[in-house]
A = this chain, B = another copy of it.
Amino acid sequence: MNRADATAESAKGTGPLSGILVVDLTHVLNGPFGTMMLADLGARVIKVEPPGGGDDTRTYGPFLNDASLYFASVNRGKESVVLNLKDDGDRTIFLNMVRRADVVAENFRPGVMARLGFSYAELSKVNPRLIYASSSGFGQTGPLANFPAYDTIVQAMSGIMSMTGFPDGPPTRVGTSLSDLLGGLNLFAGITTALYAREKTGRGTHVDISMFDATLAFLEQGTMEYAATGHALGRIGNRHPFLAPFDLYECADGHVAICCGNDHLFAALCSAIGRAEMASDARFQANESRVKHVAALKVELEAALKLQPAAYWLKIIHEAGVPIGPLLDVAQALAQPQVAARAMLVEAGGIKMTGMPIKLAGYADAAARPPAPALDQHGARLREEFSR
C-alpha cells in the first residue's frame, strides 16, 4: 500500500459514512460530484471505469502537471478499476462487488443499465439491501427520460436562464454547471436518506434523481410568480424584486453588494455615505416607494459611492451597521481567510480544489485529502478482492 492509499484508508475509518461500500459507475461531472461527497465523508468508493481510457474527463483541461483538474476535482479519495461490463469475467467481478455493496451509483442515459442486464430489478435480486442510485438529465420516467441532457440544455429548459441576467440583455447561463452539480448534490442526499431508511426497513431502494427536477426545485420567485399569476418572471438583473436598496453598486474601482431590508438601515446607509437628506426624499422614504424608484435610487447612491474605492465604503458602511460585502472574483474569493478557516480550499494529490461543505462535529474535516486515482490504479487489488 503506497502512501496515498494509506492516507485514503485512514480517512475511511473515521467518517460518518465509514463502512459504506459504493460501486461507482458514474462519469463526467454530475454523478462523480455526488459520489465524491460520499468519499469525503468516509465511504469507500470504487470507481469502475470503461476500457479505452476510462472516464472521459481524464482528457479534459485545464491540466496541472499532466493531471486533469476536471477529473481530479470530482474524484478525490476514490479507488479506480477498469472493467468491461460486456465481458463475462469482468461482469462476475462487478456482480461480486454488487453483492457486497451498500450503494451502486450510475448516471448513464436511462436504459443503458437495463441493456447491460444491470437494472434495479436485476441488481436488487442479487442484493436486496442495495441502494441503487441513478442520476440523469430528466429522470428515469416521463416523456423526456431519453432526451439528450447537457447542463446548458437543462438550464435552458428549466427556466433558470430566462430568469438570470438583465431586462435589456439576453437570457444568461449560470456561470457554473449548476444543473449537473445540483443533480450530484441531490444524488448524495438521496443516498444518505436511503441509507438511513435502510436501517429501519432492512431494504434498499432506487434513488432516481434528475438534473431537471433538481433545477426546478431552485426556481424560487419564478415558481411563486407562476403560482400567483400564471405568468413568467422576467429578468431583473442583480436587484431584489421587493426590497431596495438591495443590489450591486459601483464604487470608484469596483462593485459592492448592499442589502437594506428596512427603512432604518436605509437611513443609516444615507448618513454613512454623506447623503443623509436622501432618507427624507419622498421617493425614498419607504421601501415600497424605493422599489418603485429603484433606478433613480441607484443613480443617486452610485453618485456618492463612485467618489471612493470599494475598500473605503466596505469599512464605512459596515461600521454603520448596514449589510455590505465586496464583489470578488474567484481568486479573491478563495484567498479570503474564511476559506482556509473552514477548510474550503483543500489539497488532494498536489491540486487545490474546493472542500466539503457539510461539517459535522466529531468528524475530521481535513484540508489534505486523498488524491483522485490514476486509471486502474487499484485494479489488481480490486480484481483479487472481488474475484469471489
Contact = CB atoms under 8 A, between A and B. Distances in A.
Contacts of A379: none
Contact of A163 (B63, B159, B175, B190): B175
Interface stretch (A92-100, A294-302, A348-356): A348-356
A26 interface: no
A186 B185 contact: yes
Given A139-B359, A208-B361, A217-B354, A225 B62 contact: yes
Contact of A164 (B120, B172, B220): B172
Contacts of A144: 336-338
Top 6 A-B pairs, shortest CB-CB distance: A163-B175, A142-B341, A232-B329, A159-B333, A16-B197, A164-B175
A363 B205 contact: yes
A148 B153 CA distance: 35
A388 interface: no
A199 to B, nearest CB: 4
A269 B178 CA distance: 26
Interface string A184-201: 011011101111110110
B333 A157 contact: yes
Contact of A216 (B41, B154, B195, B339): B339
A374 interface: no
B139 A257 contact: no
A39 interface: no
Given A73-B224, A171-B327, A257 B361 contact: no
A156 B325 contact: yes
Interface residues of A, number: 139
Contact of A222 (B330, B360, B362): B330
Interface stretch (A4-12, A238-246, A270-278): A238-246
A334 interface: yes
Contact of A248 (B64, B171, B188, B197): B171
A338 B62 contact: no
Interface of A: 16-17, 19, 29, 37, 41, 60-64, 69-70, 73, 120, 138-139, 141-144, 147-150, 152-166, 169-178, 181-182, 185-186, 188-190, 192-197, 199-200, 203, 205-210, 212-214, 216-233, 235-238, 240, 242, 246-248, 255-257, 259, 261, 323-334, 336-339, 341-342, 344, 351-363
B206 A159 contact: no
Given A159-B334, A186-B358, A357-B214, A199 B197 contact: no
17 contacts: A17-B197, A29-B220, A62-B224, A148-B323, A148-B324, A148-B325, A169-B169, A173-B237, A173-B238, A176-B220, A176-B221, A177-B220, A185-B189, A189-B358, A190-B360, A196-B199, A208-B360
A226 B259 contact: no
A148 to B, nearest CB: 4
Given A205-B363, A359-B139, A156 B328 contact: yes
Given A158-B333, A188-B189, A16 B176 contact: no
Contacts of A19: 200
Contacts of A333: 157-159, 162, 216, 219
A363 B162 CA distance: 33
Contacts of A360: 190, 193-194, 197, 205-208
A186 B330 contact: no
A139 B216 contact: no
For A63, A186, A208, A358, the residue with the greatest tally of chain B CB atoms inside 10 Å of its CB is A358
Contacts of A70: 224
